[in-house]
A and B are shown apart, each in its own frame.
Chain A
């Protein structure tokens, strides 16, 4: 075992070399572009220092996008975990092992769907005239219900789709985690006449604290990828009610003005913020 062998170097070098090049070159280039005034129609820009960054802080759409992104993170992470823990406990508590496995398989369907599919399926379900989700409201009140065009409900409606995808998936993981717990503490608590909810609130969930925090961490990272859902369902609208940072960067860089340097400076700020936040959380989790 201890003799020198070439395997680690031979196996690791190509993969790590490619990862480093593919990750670091674009990152460095993003920073470089963000100091220029390059636009899609004018390939040769000149260096303008921090001007893009300074402009960002007086850009009200940018400030709005930060707010939308933070709201999105908080809502989707919180709701996903709540639903996952609730359904996970119900799966563990209420059904036979066979039904459990079948339900676990069905709960995986939403997260495996391409987000473009999930987004379209729900966009059509929420269609004010022909949607099946809005049909009961229309049948009772006679009024069409247009959730995606209402600034007050649009973000929540898109978030519902995200929580639908991830909450059900994480419920399966919570179930698997509960299954790994030793049965003795449960039995002891039952003998002491603890109520079911007390067993979970005071025994099972505290025992699963570390993996649940890891789940929250994974969801935080995944919630940053809201773009697909928002792009298909609302394109950031109505107005800028659902315009997250990546949506705004995309529309600045590609749709409206082609200001790729400006968009790039936004992307760099996002990169710095998420890297700091997640490195910090990761070290705490470990």
Chain B
């Protein structure tokens, strides 16, 4: 028994270290975002210092960061809306009306994830240049819709499949048509998992980097691009400002952590029942 408790203790220690490694880097970054440069560039890391808001004031006051924030919100938001408006009905049709193409359709949607982003970004750049839409929000929204649509369909099919068939059957007996069943029955029942799928799609395009890097140069630059440009600055690096911009970039995805963990839970619950 003694070895058993010892083993458990070591296991907990490892888990504690892992949890520390998960959270500490971001905590340290947030701390640095409130430091003056002299407090960051020290031979020993400082935990106690005089906090300053200068970094955030500078970042938020910079036109490029503000424009990136607006672009990211508009582009990600619109792409997610398009993805949800078209993807949720499609996922429902795949889940509830299986036909001989259903498996192929699902495989096609999944296979879009196999495409290397470079392979899409290079031709799209040429295409958008030819259309005169290069470096515009519109071209970014259309491009990102490919990502959100595929992701939302892929994640929503199981969510709709989990809606009890009997409920829909009962509604049909009560005289509901197929569209009414989708909007009034299936959609509300599956809502929690669907919100998770949509949130995941949002995080995905909010964090997207390579395609945005290739398809924008100034007007439509998203926040990850602006932040990465700040991190590539030369020798006299404004570390505090960098940390502040990274914190700003990371806040929106972290807001969704509860929703995403809920989606994970409901995705695995079915098997236990």
> Which A residues are within 8 Å of any B CB, using their own CB?
1, 5, 7-8, 10-12, 14-16, 18-19, 22-23, 25-27, 29-30, 32-33, 38, 43, 87, 90-91, 93-95, 103-110, 112-117, 120-125, 129-130, 132, 135, 139, 164, 168, 171-173, 176-177, 179-180, 196, 221, 224-225, 227-228, 231-232, 245-246, 249-250, 253-254, 260, 263-264, 266-268, 270-271, 274-275, 278-279, 282
Residue of A nearest to B127 (CB): A29
Could you pull out 20 A-B pairs where Cβ atoms are within 8 angstroms? A1-B169, A12-B89, A22-B142, A27-B120, A30-B120, A87-B15, A106-B22, A107-B22, A113-B26, A114-B250, A114-B253, A122-B25, A124-B239, A132-B28, A164-B21, A176-B264, A196-B7, A264-B122, A267-B119, A270-B116
Q: How far is the CB of B13 from chain A (nearest CB, A)?
A: 9
Q: Which of B129, B169, B260, B268 interacts with A180 by CB under 8 Å?
A: B268
Q: Which of A12, A112, A227, A245 interacts with B210 by CB under 8 Å?
A: A227
Q: How far is the CB of B180 from chain A (nearest CB, A)?
A: 11
> What is the 8 Å Cβ interface bit string for chain B, positions 234-269, against chain A (1 contact, 0 not)?
000001001100100110011011101100110110
Q: How far is the CB of B144 from chain A (nearest CB, A)?
A: 10
Q: Which of A43, A104, A121 interacts with B26 by CB under 8 Å?
A: A121
Q: Which of B15, B99, B127, B213 interacts with A26 by CB under 8 Å?
A: B127
Taking residues whose C-beta sits less than 8 angstroms from the other chain, chain B's interface range is 35 or more
Q: Is the CB of A7 within 8 A of B182?
A: yes
Q: Which of B44, B105, B129, B179 interacts with A139 by CB under 8 Å?
A: B44
Q: Which of B97, B145, B146 interacts with A8 by CB under 8 Å?
A: B97
Residue of A nearest to B99 (CB): A8
Q: How far is the CB of B41 from chain A (nearest CB, A)?
A: 6
Q: Is the CB of A179 within 8 A of B122?
A: no
Distance, CA A246 to CA B142, complexed state (A): 22
Q: Is the CB of B228 within 8 A of A231?
A: yes
Q: Is the CB of B257 within 8 A of A114?
A: no
Residue of B nearest to A278 (CB): B114
Q: How far is the CB of B181 from chain A (nearest CB, A)?
A: 9
Q: Is the CB of A135 within 8 A of B45?
A: yes
A282 contacts across to B, CB distance below 8 A: 107, 110
Q: Is the CB of B123 within 8 A of A33?
A: yes
Q: Is the CB of B105 within 8 A of A7?
A: no
Distance, CA A250 to CA B90, complexed state (A): 34
Q: Is the CB of A176 within 8 A of B242?
A: no
Q: Is the CB of B25 within 8 A of A121?
A: yes
Decide: A112 near B90, CB < 8 A? Known: A179-B272, A246-B116: no
B124 at the interface (CB under 8 A from A): yes
Residue of A nearest to B25 (CB): A121
B113 at the interface (CB under 8 A from A): yes
